[in-house]
Amino acid sequence: MLSGNNYLNMVKPCWKASVEGDEGCVRKPGDQTGRTDGLLWYKDLGAHVSGEFSMAVIQANNLLEDQSQVESGPLSSLNSGPYGTFIGVYDGHGGPETSRFVNQNLFSNLKKFASEDQDMSADVIKKAFLATEDEFLSVVREQWRICPQIASVGTCCLVGVICNGLIYVANAGDSRVVLGRAERGVRGVTAIQLSTEHNASYASVRDELHSLHPDDPKIVVLKHNVWRVKGIIQVSRSIGDAYLKKAEFNREPLLAKFRVTGPFTKPILNPEPSISIHKLNPKDQFLIFASDGLWEHLTNEEAVGIVHNYPRNGIARRLVKTALQIAAKKREMRYSDLKKIDRGVRRHFHDDITVVVVFLDPPLTNRASARSSALSIKGGRGLPHTNKL
């Protein structure tokens, strides 16, 4: 057996290599970077501490607004601290800045609070969300004079932490995580949605908004058949969107089209995540984390069915491809022709899509791989124009 320190020395180079890895180049198998193919980024198969995972990202916006990460190994800066896998999916809106910021800072904040508590808990995750929000708002305050548009950028934030036989799911926004569970007596795998979404299309979200803002009857408005908070945004929780959090950013020099009419005293959007904790069951096979770009084309059952019925290698890429085939069909064109559409224009056909499939393998069979599977990988590296910030 390796001692803690030896182990850390052994895995350290892996960490560094993945963080500073070259973009988009083809590397030897087992590495911690992905590959790119046009607007698609993928990592067909990798190992995390409790199994394998597969990742894929397709870019639709001119600048990729979806960001994602898988971190596996120590979940705190202490050797004795919690150990497990962290998955983050950040679906930005209005620009890529907030999702990139969260991708770079949320996990280190989580590690900081986990070190303080020497444990993983819902409270640690919540504190990490709120600290990341505060840090981003101070970035907005700093850049406000030079670049006021930063106040109109935000991101949805979905986090999963697999640690000590538990799955923590924290969500602010409308990304989703679905669990595939093999039930006895049922053929195939059943889909269990673990995340709570905050999209105004749900009556419960609209009710929550009305109860939080009893004096504002127009807190949610139906516009072009879509429910939007203040007629602007579909999600009721997010990180960023400073102009909807603090009135000090809801004024000039921010362009009028990004502003809310009328003053407000209470923040309109909330950065606090909905957190749920699930005990891992031996029947639990895999988790599918994805931004809403996937779920607008696939149901939970369809996605779980695909993951159950096809080989692990490249499964995230298969889910993305299936979603794109459906998107092409809706727009009455061939999938092969959809691939000819440039980024930016692509947004009229589908959204940025991020998929992370995490397999939950029984601990005994993967002990050997677990020892060598500390990793840090970020989705979408090497896609065109993603290196601005």
Partner 1 sequence: MKKFRGFLLKHRVISLFRCIRRRYHPSAGRYRRINHSPGSLSVLLNWGARIKAKARAICSKNPGFRSGYLRVREDPDSETGLTPPRTAVPKGKMAVYVGEEDGDYERVLVPVIYINHPLFGQLLRKAEEEHGHDHPGGGLTIPCRISEFENVKTRIAAGCGGRRKLPWKRPV
> Which stretches of the chain bind partner 1, using CB under 8 A?
38, 224-226, 329-334, 336-337, 340-342, 345, 347-349, 351, 384
> Which of 322, 376 has the CB closer to partner 1?
322
Q: Token pair for residue 282?
A: 């031996």
Distances in whole angstroms, Cα of residue 97 to Cα of each of 25, 50, 94, 146, 251: 24, 32, 9, 15, 20
Number of other CB atoms surrounding residue 312 within 10 Å: 16
Distances in whole angstroms, Cα of residue 193 to Cα of each of 165, 185, 236, 290, 312: 18, 20, 19, 12, 21
> Which of 62, 274 has the CB closer to partner 1?
62
Q: 148 by DSSP, 3-state: which?
A: helix
DSSP string, 214-247: TT-TTSEEEETTEEEETTTBSBSB-EE-GGGT-G
Contact 88, 102 (CB under 8 A): yes
Q: How far is the CB of 224 from partner 1 (least distance, A)?
A: 6
Q: How far is the CB of 78 from partner 1 (least distance, A)?
A: 45
What is the distance between the alpha carbons of residues 271 and 273, in angstroms, rounded to a whole number?
A: 6
- 307 closest CA partner among 286, 290, 293: 286
Phi, psi of 144, deg, nearest 5? -50, -45
- 72 closest CA partner among 47, 109, 100: 47
Q: Are strands 176-181 and 284-290 parallel, antiparallel or unpaired?
A: antiparallel
Q: How far is the CB of 94 from partner 1 (least distance, A)?
A: 14
Q: How far is the CB of 242 from partner 1 (least distance, A)?
A: 23
Q: How far is the CB of 326 from partner 1 (least distance, A)?
A: 10
- 101 closest CA partner among 86, 113, 114, 88: 88
Report the run of H or E that residue 370 belongs to, with start and end. Answer: helix 367-371
Number of other CB atoms surrounding residue 121 within 10 Å: 18
What is the distance between the alpha carbons of residues 264 and 129, in angstroms, rounded to a whole number?
A: 23
